[in-house]
Amino acid sequence: MTQAITTVAGTGAAAARAPVTEQMTDDFDSFFRSRTPALLRTAYLLTGDRHLAEDLVQDALARTFRMWQRLADGGHPEAYARRVMYHLQVSFWRRRRVAESMPGELPERHDRADYAEATVERLTLRRALLALPARQRAVVVLRYFEDRSEAETADILNCRVGTVKSHTARALSRLRELMPEIELAAGVDR
């Protein structure tokens, strides 16, 4: 499981800030402490790599921090951070780096129900996800991990519901090819 955050204090730049900026930074720190673990989990599914996931969250939170004054006053910082994260992840410039870690052959599946098998299953899923184009992977994560509706997914990815449907269909079809043992028929249906 993702570890809890106990402290994030002590960054050097925090030493001499104006009162308003300090308050803003404190608010952001609170947000950072509470929401970063969840963002990292999503980022890991999007990138398939711990370091890339941290980089992705770092970039998303940096943009969120820059928008903090607006977001803190009635906005929804986490929604903004997630939206930025998804958009950054499907952008070419970041995707180029992810491409370097694309997987080779999928591991063979073993039938023994033990810890090793669970590990293999996770590895298989991770690699299968990485075999999807970035936007299809984002749709899978939004629909099946975050449990978002098609309309919500379309809104976050700034595309039409029809596009979400086609991405979902293609992604599931590909996942079925790569992981025939997994049950994909009963997905989110809203």
Partner 1 sequence: MNELNDRLADLADEMTDTDYTALRGRVETTARRIGQRRVAGTTAAALALVGLLGIGGLQLAPQGQRHPLPPAASQTASEPPTPAPTTPAATTTPSAPASPTGSAPANAALSHVPGRLVYLRVGAEIEVVTVTDGVARTTSFGPRKLGDQVATVAPDGSRVALVRPAKDVSEYPGDLVVVQPGGARKVVRQGVSWGGGTGPAWMPDSRRLLVGVTTLEGDVATGESYGYVDAVTGRYDKLGITAFPSYLSWSANGAYRVHADGDSLVVARPDGTRVRKVSVAGQPECDRTGECPSSVQAVSDDGRYVATGLGSGDPTRVTRARFVLDTVSGKRIDLPSKLRGGVEEIFFRPDDTLVVQTSDHLYLVGLDGTVTATIERPESTNQADLAAYRR
Tell which positions 32-61 bind partner 1, by CB under 8 A.
32-33, 36-37, 40-45, 50, 53-54, 57-59, 61
Smallest distance from the beta carbon of 161 to partner 1, in angstroms? 11
CB closer to partner 1, 7 vs 19: 7
Asked if 62 touches partner 1 (CB under 8 A), the answer is yes
Q: How far is CA 116 from the centre of its chain?
A: 26
Concatenating the DSSP letter of every residue in 134-188 gives HHHHHHHIIIIIS---HHHHHHHHTS-HHHHHHHHHHHHHHHHHH-TTS--SS--
Instruction: Give the whole-angstrom CA distance, residue 150 versus residue 9.
Output: 39
Minimal distance in Å, beta carbon 32 to partner 1?
6
Separation of alpha carbons 89 and 155, rounded Å: 16
CB of 36 to partner 1, least distance (A): 6
Burial of 121 (0-12, 13-18, 19+ CB in 10 A): middle
Instruction: Say whether residue 158 binds partner 1 (CB under 8 A).
Output: yes
Q: Is the Cβ of residue 10 or residue 19 nearer to partner 1 in the bound state?
A: 10
Structure tokens at 1: 């499981």
Q: Return the residue of 24, 67, 120, 178 that touches partner 1, per CB under 8 A.
A: 67
Least Å distance, CB 31 to partner 1, is 11
In the shown chain, the binding pattern of residues 70 to 109 toward partner 1, with x for contact by CB under 8 A and - for none, equals xx-xxxx--xx--xx--xx-xxxx-xx--x----------
Should residue 139 be labelled a site residue for partner 1 when binding is judged by CB under 8 A?
no
Structure tokens at 104: 């080779």
